[in-house]
Amino acid sequence: MISQTFTVANPQGFHVRPTKTFVEKASAFPCKINVINKGKKVNGKSSLSMLTLGIAQGDEVTLEIDGEQEQEAMEALGPLFGQIHE
C-alpha cells in the first residue's frame, strides 16, 4: 500500500466535475483506492462517497492506494487534486 498527501488547489474545492474526473480515472485501475479528508476515509471509486468528504480549497487530502498498478494510479490521480477545474 502506498499513500501520499496532496493539497487541493481548486477555488471551489473538489465539486461534481473534478470528482467525476477523479472517479472515472480511479475506476480504470484494479487496485483499491481510498481518499481521506479530515479523518474521514471513503472509496475513491464512488462519486457519492467522494462528495460526502466536502473537500475545499486548501484541504490536505490523503490518497491511499493498495494493489495492482498502485504506483500508476497514484501518478494519475494525485495531480488531479492540484489542478484548477471550472
Catalytic residue positions?
15
| Residue indicated by cell numbers 475545499 | 56
Residue pair 64/1 in contact (Cβ under 8 Å)? The answer is yes
Collapsed DSSP state (helix, strand, coil) of residue 75 = helix
Number of H helices, E strands in the chain: 3, 4
